[in-house]
Amino acid sequence: MKITVPATSANLGPGFDSVGVALSKYLTIEVLEPAADWQVDHDLRDIPSDENNLLIQTALQIAPDLTPQRIKMTSDIPLARGLGSSSSVIVAGIELANQLAGLQLSDQEKLNLATEIEGHPDNVAPAIFGNLVVASYLDGQVSSVVANFPTCDFLAFIPNYELKTSESRGVLPTSMTYKEAVAASSIANVAIAGLLTGDLSKAGQAIQGDRFHEAYRQNLVKEFAPIKKVAQKSGAYATYLSGAGPTVMSLVPLGQGLDLKAALDDLKLDGQTFVLSVDKEGVRLD
């Protein structure tokens, strides 16, 4: 049995903790054989290979009596870079329990469980459903809307350093005035409306107008300003911090991702650039 889960890019500017899109990097879990104890074979540094692995912890939280297995884990989703690496493992763990225990969980049940474990739905929802997902989590209830993302290329600059979510959240304000909240919310509304109607020009302007988090976090990612400058000159719709960062994501007209990649590579920044596309399937069995 093989479980595949896509990477995700959350927030998209003002969609803080509630908006995400599934992208074409992947975590793959292969169940090889029953074992005396849980064993997770991987080449990811500083990640446990036993029942302390987040994958196994999640699966056992859902189904405590699972028979231990030897599992192969491979991933091209970098850790602590704002591409949903932990969310992909949580979603894979839920699906692992679902399959091994024959739970027959619905997608909504998977989303409820994943959101409870992760704390917010912005990454786990698109990892489950694929595509663009707008979701809310209030009083233990998760509500979501899945939609196709407008056609474009995603150009990801992934730095060679990590940025922990806790550190990135530490620079955020603890409150906003009512007037500021209304303004920030109106920008978010336009961003979502633009995405849902396929108007990437208006959506991009709103994405870059975020007032919830990016203004506070951009200084943590020194590459953000030069990337945004080059991207705008190249005709990008928007440049934003993916999740909590440090990955910097640009939305580019379809077919122009490689041109922007070449321009960013010329900057010789400390990281790698990738042209990505929307994953429309979400978690799946192969």
- Residue ranges for the known binding site for ATP are 78-88
Sequential DSSP letters for 73-122: EEE-S-TTSSS-HHHHHHHHHHHHHHHHTT----HHHHHHHHHHHHSSST
- Give long-range contacts, CB 8 A cutoff, 24+ apart: 106-111: 108/142, 110/283, 111/135, 111/142, 111/144
AA letter at 82:
G
Fill in the DSSP letter of residue 36.
S
Residue 179: Cβ within 10 Å count: 8
Residue 14: Cβ within 10 Å count: 26
SS3 content of the chain, % helix, strand, coil (to 5): 35, 30, 35
**SS3 state at 54:** helix
Pair type for strands 248-252 and 238-241? antiparallel
On whether the CB atoms of residues 5 and 96 are closer than 8 A, the answer is no
Dihedral pair phi/psi, residue 25, rounded to 5°: -125, 155
Nearest-10 crossing angle of helices 54-62, 107-118: 120
Binding residues: 78-88
